[in-house]
Every structure is written in C-alpha cells, then in structure tokens.
C-alpha cells in the first residue's frame, strides 16, 4: 500500500471574517477525514502598500482595500478559538504566513507544519524565518521558475529544515487543461524530495489523478457555498465534494498497491478453473 497522502482543507479566508462559518468549515473538514485545516495570516500594513490599501474596493466591510483586507483577517482572539476548537474536533491546523510578523505570531501555537504560499516563494527573509523553525514545510511552487524554486529549496536545505514541494498553478479557478500534472514527476526528479499538489480547479478528478501520479499531499480550498463573497470561493470544493475527494484519495492509495507481483487468493482460484492448476 502506498504512503498516506496528507490532505489539507484550505479554509484560507473563506471564513469571511465570521467565526461561525469558520467552525462549520472545521467541522466538515474533520468529518470528511482531512488531516488538517489551513489558514492565511497577514499583517496588512506589512504586506500591502498604503496606496493600495487606500484604493477603492467595494466589499461587505466598506469601500477600500483596507476595509476588505481587515474584514477578512483574524486576530489573536480568533486564532486562540481556532486552536481550541481544532483540538476539540481532533484535527490539526496550520497557516501560511505572508510576512515575518505573522510567522512570529504563529509561533505561539504548537503547530506541526508550516506553509510557504506561492506568492511568498521569492521572499528570502520570510523563507529563512520559516526554515529556522525546522518544522515540516509545504512549499507551493505556483508562478515560479525553476531558478526561483532552486533558491527556495537551497534555503531550506541550508537550514536542515524538512520540506516538500507542491505543484501548483496559481489561477482561480484554474482551467483544467493547465494542470500539467507531470510536473509532479519533474519536481521529484529535479529536487529529490516529496511533491504534493495544491489545486485551484473545480471538481475532483485532477486532484485524484495527482495522487495516482504519486503526489504525497493534496491541498484544496473549501467553502460552504461557491457563490459566497470571496475571490477563492469559486475555486473551492463544497463540503460534499470534499468528502467525495477524500474518499477517492483513500481508495487510490489502496489500489496503487506496492508494485510487487503477487497472485491473490481469488486469482489463484480463477487460474485453477481456467488452467487446471
């Protein structure tokens, strides 16, 4: 049997700043058998410029980018509750930090994993801050060249920090014809490490196919309703499809087998019937 595929249900900012929505998503992820839920943590004034934050954007929280970003950002009280609630539900949580202050913020929790978002792969100082923790880190490779991935991998190897890469196409939702799943094999060969898949497509077949190709982890955004407000909602799995995807993944793990030629008991019975021995 193949190794267990680590499934992360990415809540990200699909909670829309609402802890009730967040808890429902955690409930569904736990019920579905996901290994972890993941969030995104940002220090708004460190990640975005003042000009950008002051610019116009209409949202449920106001008419500026700042109002929208702040409306989606959980703070310590919310993360304390996330930490408590995930422990109660028996599911792991972790987050991708988009700046160094946010990574320091996450250190107050006993998290087993870190995540480098595709957008942050070229942020060397953030990479070093994460790698110094020596926690197993998932590194998404969307929007990145081989040279950029080379440099990121070098940081983690220099700090002796365990990691795996995640093949990713950073479009939301991703056109299915752009999946290029053979990149999983290419990344494995080039970097000699485990490679997972972080998907932004609709549906389940691409993620299931990634497991069949040897992906060691799968990350998919999840939502209560694809029509809810938010840039990630359309590229997310609803709760029913999350359950179906994890069932598919666990089945693929079994059917892949170990590659050894073994005649099963049932096959031996058939051979006796058809060959006479």
Residues 66 and 49 sit within 8 Å (Cβ to Cβ): no
User: Does a structural domain hold residue 80?
Assistant: yes
- Given a contact cutoff of 8 angstroms between Cβ atoms, the answer to whether 194 and 139 are in contact is no
How far is C-alpha 127 from the chain's CA centre?
Answer: 17
Contacts of 159 (CB under 8 A, 6+ apart): 128, 131, 132, 134
Look at the chain and report how many structural domains it folds into.
1
Instruction: List the one residue out of 210, 274, 222 whose CA is nearest residue 33.
Output: 222
Look-up: residue for tokens 């969307």? 142
For the stretch 114-158, pLDDT in tens is 999 999 999 999 999 999 999 999 999 999 999 999 999 999 999
Residue 3 pLDDT: 83
Those residues with Cβ within 8 angstroms of residue 19's Cβ, 6 or more apart along the chain or in another chain: 78, 81
pTM above 0.85, yes or no: yes
CB 149 within 8 A of CB 116: no
Q: What is the 3-state secondary structure (H, E, C) of the chain?
A: CCCCCEEEEEEECCCCCCHHHHHHHHHHHHHHCCCEEEEEECCHHHHCCHHHHHCEEEECCEEEHHHHHHHHCCCHHHHHHHHHHHHHHCCEEEEEECCHHHHHHHCCCCCCEEEECHHHCCCHHHHHHHHCCCCEEEEECCCCCHHHHHHHHHHHHHCCCCEEEEEECCCCCCCHHHCCCCHHHHHHHHHCCCEEEEECCCCCHHHHHHHHCCCCEEEEEEECCCCCCCCCHHHCEEHHHHHHHHHHHHHHHHHHCCCCCCCCHHHHHHHHHHHCC
Q: Decide if 107 is inside a domain.
A: yes
Asked if residue 1 is part of any domain, the answer here is no
Low-confidence ranges of the chain (pLDDT < 50): 1-2
The values of phi and psi at residue 146, to 5°, are -60, -40
Q: Kindly report the number of other CB atoms within 10 A of residue 198's CB atom.
A: 28
Give the CATH number of the domain where residue 226 resides. Answer: 3.20.20.70
- What is the crossing angle of helices 19-32 and 239-256, to 10°? 30
Per the CB < 8 A criterion, the answer to whether 182 and 188 are in contact is no
| 197 found inside a domain | yes
Question: Structural domain of residue 241, as residue ranges?
Answer: 6-275
At 265 the pLDDT is 94
Query: What pLDDT is recorded for position 1?
Result: 39
């Amino acid at each position: 049997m193949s190794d267990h595929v680590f499934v992360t249900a990415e809540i990200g900012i699909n909670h829309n700043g609402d802890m009730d929505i967040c808890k429902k998503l955690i409930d569904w992820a736990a019920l579905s058998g996901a290994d972890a839920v993941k969030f995104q943590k940002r220090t708004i004034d460190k990640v975005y410029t003042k000009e950008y934050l002051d610019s116009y954007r209409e949202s449920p929280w106001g008419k500026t980018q700042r109002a929208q970003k702040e409306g989606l950002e959980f703070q310590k009280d919310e993360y304390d509750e996330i930490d408590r609630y995930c422990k109660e539900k028996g599911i792991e949580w972790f987050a991708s930090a988009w700046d160094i202050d946010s990574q320091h913020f996450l250190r107050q929790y006993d998290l087993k994993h870190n995540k480098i978002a595709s957008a942050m792969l070229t942020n060397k100082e953030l990479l070093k801050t994460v790698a110094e923790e020596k926690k197993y880190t998932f590194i998404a490779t969307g929007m990145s060249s081989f040279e950029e991935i080379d440099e990121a991998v070098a940081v983690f190897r220099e700090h002796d920090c365990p990691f795996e890469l995640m093949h990713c196409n950073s479009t939301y939702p991703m056109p299915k014809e752009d999946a290029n799943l053979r990149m999983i094999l290419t990344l494995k060969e080039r970097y000699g490490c485990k490679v997972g898949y972080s998907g932004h497509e609709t549906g389940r077949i691409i993620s299931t196919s990634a497991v069949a190709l040897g992906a060691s982890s799968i990350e998919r955004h999840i939502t209560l309703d694809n029509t809810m407000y938010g840039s990630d909602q359309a590229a997310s799995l609803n709760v029913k499809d999350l359950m179906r995807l994890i069932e598919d993944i666990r089945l693929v793990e079994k059917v892949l087998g170990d590659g050894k030629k073994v005649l099963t008991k049932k096959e031996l019975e058939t051979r006796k019937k058809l060959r006479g021995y």
